[in-house]
Structure 1
């Protein structure tokens, strides 16, 4: 690896990859808007390069994919990006009190060690305040199963938090900022590794 040998020059560093995944079949969606807002804030702070996927990016064969070894290229492209990311920002709309079935189906395709120690920020959108429990009772346990480093600050947004499906109210930004503060801390080990 090349680096500047001048005094106090930092080592060259690989840009970290932060991947967003919105477990929604429509685009645009409030869920994608929430995930993207976190990624945009992380990018603006220089935390890494960002990419966002929706369920529809996995293609029409996704729902029929029962094992990763038989996944079509569109499905594998999404799975590979998630597995190779330095951190994830995931989001789901709340249906029947939990994450969507296809959101869960995508993560069922991963081996249980595939996401070990990966920083994950969990987000969700819903129609009622009491559905915020999806963060602690569904999303966090799912990623703890994979031994991910799950942020303690999940983000839950209601319809009134949006100006439109593709824009959050400015007042919501302070919550995003606190979440990205934690993402920056979770990324520190990856940042150190990338500079070695």
Structure 2
């Protein structure tokens, strides 16, 4: 029996949003499987919409607000992360990318991660593989092989032979739980607020 924390990141811009709905479904599914294994689980939901101004200010100044600092700490100290973004112009939205831009390089090494996305049509479903996976490969996260995409009319649909959304959610959650239970990632992390090498006054290294 272990105490587990799952950080669920939602980059939806509207309230309510299908992105948050999918994030909640995935978080619930992962928590349910961990509980079935005898673990105690805490799910921490991080709405990036509520942190948009803080994220922008951090990009400009290199310093986080207390609210943003708390959100990043929840991510870095979690046993696993569920990251969900709407797809804009064939990729993740700017808010999603900006949040991960301000996380210290190396902080997500070997972190178990489940990737998911929402969009208007199933034509955007490949964005998980060609946009999100390269980002988390760069971050050296341990990403579940199954990503979950939900289009506007995808909730509960098995049209054209596509597995129903609940089935895909269950499969992805099971994979994430497997990564979490096998993970040897240390919770002794680098200080996320240490200034990286090459820091310049106008923001973190590499940001202009």
TM-score category by the smaller chain?
A: 0.7 to 0.9
Runs of 4+ that moved beyond 3 A: 190-194
Corresponding residue for residue 27 of structure 2: 39
Measured on the aligned residues, the alpha-carbon RMSD in Å equals 2.2
Alpha-carbon offset, residue 122 of structure 1: 0.2
Alpha-carbon offset, residue 69 of structure 1: 5.1
Distance 1:122 1:65 in 2: 24
- TM alignment of 1:91-110, pairs within 5 A: 91-110=84-103
Greater CA drift, 63-72 or 149-158: 63-72
Q: Residues 116-147 of structure 1: CA distance to partner in whole angstroms, max 9, x if unpaired? A: 10000000001122211110011111111111
Distance 1:112 1:38 in 2: 26
User: Can you give the 5+ residue segments of structure 1 that lack an aligned partner in the other structure?
Assistant: 1-12, 164-170
Verify the 8 A CA contact 1:57 1:78 in the aligned structure 2: no
Task: Determine which of 178, 181, 187 is the counterpart of 1:188.
Answer: 181
For the pair 1:141 / 2:170, whether they are aligned, the reply is no
Alpha-carbon offset, residue 102 of structure 1: 1.1
Q: TM-score, normalised by structure 2?
A: 0.77
Corresponding residue for residue 161 of structure 1: 154
**Count of residue correspondences:** 175
Cα distance change, pair 174–20 in 1 and its aligned pair in 2 (3 A): same
Verify the 8 A CA contact 1:119 1:150 in the aligned structure 2: yes
Q: TM-score, normalised by structure 1?
A: 0.82
Verify the 8 A CA contact 1:18 1:49 in the aligned structure 2: yes
Task: Determine which of 72, 75, 91 is the counterpart of 1:79.
Answer: 72
Alpha-carbon offset, residue 172 of structure 1: 1.9
Alpha-carbon offset, residue 191 of structure 1: 8.3
Corresponding residue for residue 3 of structure 1: none
User: Can you give the 5+ residue segments of structure 2 that lack an aligned partner in the other structure?
Assistant: 157-163, 188-208
